[in-house]
Structure 1
């Protein structure tokens, strides 16, 4: 028994010595091998500039700071991916949908169009002799005239002389019948009737004024002369449209042309008559492509004897059951998911099903089917995309320096992305007037003064709601509507943390608009703190170059940097 105890003791001691001698080396080899594998795929980024991604450690090319492992600094995201907080997702009401293949049997195509005059029924009323308009009986466009109606009275020296010739020739019609006939024909060329010519001949006195009568019936669409004007022979006086029939012109895209042909039935809806459906047939498809819009015009002729359609009216046309043969399956996405910029169509893909990680994806669209679009390429069955709040997600991508719809070019001086947006002078003036209120709101956040934040938010809300949005672009409308929503959220809560979360999204939109301003009386600075918004970064505007952080207040008052200067 004692012998076995001795053997057991020797075995334990031997195992212990082996672990001391070889255990660390094995762990080192395992760790070394693991490090080699991880370093092979390791990317390095900058904590202040997360858009920087390099395969090796070193210095940030923008600020010179040491690069850190990308997983530690950017949550393991690729250079095109970005992450939103769940709080931001909820505030912006961002919703996603998993796309799948749909059968397109009996699907319809909906086209947008506009009512236009039937050019084949249009005419121009001209003067057949020169002279001065003594009286014009048509006072404005839109008047309805009938064939034979008196339009104008004209004094014509030329016609006065021709009448004298007629009176002289009438006394010689027996001896010189050819001369007499020639003079009468000359007056007929000026559209004088036989009764008018006979009246002149019978009276023996030339008339000083002659009447111009309408040669067609219709509606005056353009008045080309005024009373008192001198006119020449053949000069147009009025443009007249016969609106008993009108054209409904629709644009069809280049990739849709093969689906349409003459004679197809079209159902037409108008906002003016929401409860009525008008029927027509395809009458004409333009053989020439508009190279600017990449569309051709499809025309439907509509009966308009009851004058329901007005030229310029917007309409929608639906052509039924022409998108497929029943065996074709395609991916469709809601129209709300798609953003357009120039020739590009983009959606935002949710890269991680368990986390709010997104990236932009360019797609090629096919036909429109109701409120959905067919996707020809760019998406796969089962992809999850943003279907509500797409514009807010795009703004977040832009402000994080990621690939986005609005990132057309870079500004090398401040490393920020420039978004092109058309702002009218009227809109610029309105937006600039609300900037002082915004800046006061930002200062209230710096001071962490909840009550002042709520008060100023209400004031800014009133100013935003009064901004005229009638002639602004869809992009600008989206920015404004989201700004109004966030300011309203700020004004309705006294929780500073919730107010600051809404302020992040408000700034995504306000800053995007402000970047398109120019000619300001005072300089604006776009500033960004990389640690705000749960380390995702957030921006704001300031009139001071010195950073005073509205997201942390005194806790981190100087955290941030100037990203762009607006002057």
Structure 2
């Protein structure tokens, strides 16, 4: 019996081990298989990015931490593609609104192009009223620039000691004019040289009284464009008093590209329009074509003269002119939509779709001609029938930057890093529009931000927290002012970032939030046109876990907010915002 029990126990143990192996060993294989499949799924998962900030990469959809815009799918493919080619997923193309068109042919014969410019003062009609004798300004009869004056109107009164002496000489000579007529005539001529009229001289002589303060009268009619003196000023002969501009004739100054030079010549008539008077067309005559090209803008100044006797055109007003142009090419004229072109200053780029059935795009540099009816004439770089991106061009370019391909601002195909110059250029390429009130309020927020930066330099957690709370309130006020949608998105995100920073009580967390806050402040600051002073964009390559981080400063000298006194001078200036 004992032997039988031992056998039964042995059999039970063997069966138990076998069953355990089958159960747990199989499950282990299944678990291992599941774990492998899960990692494969993550590795092949879709990444999400911001179309305006392509350096942002997240494994799931959401909002951009910089501007708050919805993220879009980013394609990580590109194997087997050339360095100037980019491949996007169909989903990404739909979400980004990418549309393509075929390179078409325009109409032969006459067409027209539009050039933009501004109304300016006709400098040929400028007149500077000068002093004809030494003296002191006793009073001014004109109060502000823009005031209208007429010829003969009193502008000022001047006390002139030399003129007082000359009057006394006149009174003495008038008593001797019978015996010494030449002396009398010489004294009168002396007063005439000081621009006293015959009537004024006769009045002094008949009254027998010496005038201490002499009036100065306008020589021309027009508008006061500049007052150059103040009451009490001492002046010399020839000193300018006021500048008077006759606005009966004004200039329209246009910027024409060098390939448009042949379209303009002196004496040519132009039809000029302005948004202020949409139903009015003004006729202008080209009076000057600049002989020297502007090397920076590659444009040429074309000046046309406009009749403005009705006073409708004001200096500084934007105008457009249409110029008829006849095609000089034989056969078809290739054209592409204006929205298809990316400008980099010296280059003009488009994205070509080599295969209409594939979502692969190729960046190509083209040479363009005149802009006619919303389309550019293509001189070289494209052929009729090719497909190009007409809408969503900037998004395609952003995807190229993500994949390390050649792009608008990355000619060598290197990956763009946060905080570097390429990133700054990316920010400046965006366009936001703010009202004057919003810009002024942003100036208050900028001052708070700069104080917050100094608090981080001093490693003052409490001051940083207090300033962040103050800044969040100002940002909330700005978000209620007038601006475009992109501006609202960035300002709204700015308020959230400052509110979040205000909750952090430790320096490490505050400095971590300061990274994205600074990126947003830099991009908004680049859009402001009324900054009170120059700003320096500074970069520390070691901050943000060695990814690099930026910040704004009023001083060129480096004071690092991410490390404080531990590494106070670590960093460099990467951009200047004027």
Normalising by structure 1, we get a TM-score of 0.63
Match of 1:130 in 2: 134
Structure 1 CA distance for aligned equivalents of residues 481 and 349 of structure 2: 28
Find the partner of 1:373 among 348, 353, 376: 376
Could you list the per-position Cα deviations for residues 25-75 of structure 1 after superposition, in whole angstroms to 9, with x for gaps in the alignment?
xxxxxxxxxxxxxxxxxxxxxx9xxxxxxxxxxxxxxxxxxxxxxxx9634
Would the alpha carbon gap of residues 319 and 525 (structure 1) be closer, same or farther in structure 2, given more than 3 Å must change? farther
Match of 1:318 in 2: 322
Contact 1:149/1:213 (<8 A) preserved: yes
Contact 2:406/2:412 (<8 A) preserved: no
Match of 1:156 in 2: 160
Contact 1:221/1:241 (<8 A) preserved: yes
- Write out aligned runs for 1:479-558 (5 A): 513=523, 518-519=537-538, 523-524=543-544
Would the alpha carbon gap of residues 398 and 326 (structure 1) be closer, same or farther in structure 2, given more than 3 Å must change? closer
Alignment pair present for 1:406 and 2:409: yes
Match of 1:362 in 2: 365
Unmatched 5+ stretches in structure 1: 1-46, 48-71, 434-458, 471-476, 488-505, 529-542, 544-565
Match of 1:385 in 2: 388
Match of 1:332 in 2: 335
Quote how far apart the aligned CAs of 1:367 are. Answer: 0.8
Could you list the per-position Cα deviations for residues 156-193 of structure 1 after superposition, in whole angstroms to 9, with x for gaps in the alignment?
11211111121222222222222221111111011001
Find the partner of 2:479 among 463, 466, 487: 466
Would the alpha carbon gap of residues 335 and 481 (structure 1) be closer, same or farther in structure 2, given more than 3 Å must change? farther
Find the partner of 1:212 among 213, 216, 232: 216
Match of 1:174 in 2: 178
Match of 1:80 in 2: 84
Normalising by structure 2, we get a TM-score of 0.62
Could you list the per-position Cα deviations for residues 465-502 of structure 1 after superposition, in whole angstroms to 9, with x for gaps in the alignment?
939998xxxxxx99769979999xxxxxxxxxxxxxxx
Quote how far apart the aligned CAs of 1:291 are. Answer: 3.1
Alignment pair present for 1:184 and 2:215: no
Could you list the per-position Cα deviations for residues 415-465 of structure 1 after superposition, in whole angstroms to 9, with x for gaps in the alignment?
9882443769958967998xxxxxxxxxxxxxxxxxxxxxxxxx9xx9799
Would the alpha carbon gap of residues 526 and 265 (structure 1) be closer, same or farther in structure 2, given more than 3 Å must change? farther
Structure 2 CA distance for aligned equivalents of residues 355 and 427 of structure 1: 48
Find the partner of 1:267 among 258, 262, 271: 271
Contact 1:333/1:374 (<8 A) preserved: yes
Quote how far apart the aligned CAs of 1:194 are. Answer: 0.8
Structure 2 CA distance for aligned equivalents of residues 83 and 511 of structure 1: 32
Find the partner of 2:115 among 102, 108, 111: 111
The size of the alignment, in residue pairs, is 412
SS at match of 2:188: helix
SS at match of 1:166: helix
Structure 1 CA distance for aligned equivalents of residues 321 and 146 of structure 2: 27
- Write out aligned runs for 1:432-447 (5 A): none
Once the two structures are overlaid, the 10-residue window that deviates more, 423-432 or 74-83, is 423-432
Match of 2:93 in 1: 89
Contact 2:151/2:221 (<8 A) preserved: yes
SS at match of 1:103: coil
Would the alpha carbon gap of residues 481 and 332 (structure 1) be closer, same or farther in structure 2, given more than 3 Å must change? farther
Could you list the per-position Cα deviations for residues 359-412 of structure 1 after superposition, in whole angstroms to 9, with x for gaps in the alignment?
321111211112111121221212211111222222222232111111267889
SS at match of 2:333: strand
Structure 2 CA distance for aligned equivalents of residues 169 and 515 of structure 1: 72
Contact 2:407/2:413 (<8 A) preserved: no
Structure 2 CA distance for aligned equivalents of residues 76 and 127 of structure 1: 79
Match of 1:196 in 2: 200
Quote how far apart the aligned CAs of 1:527 are. Answer: 7.4
What is the RMSD computed on CA atoms of the aligned residues? Answer: 4.3
SS at match of 1:418: helix
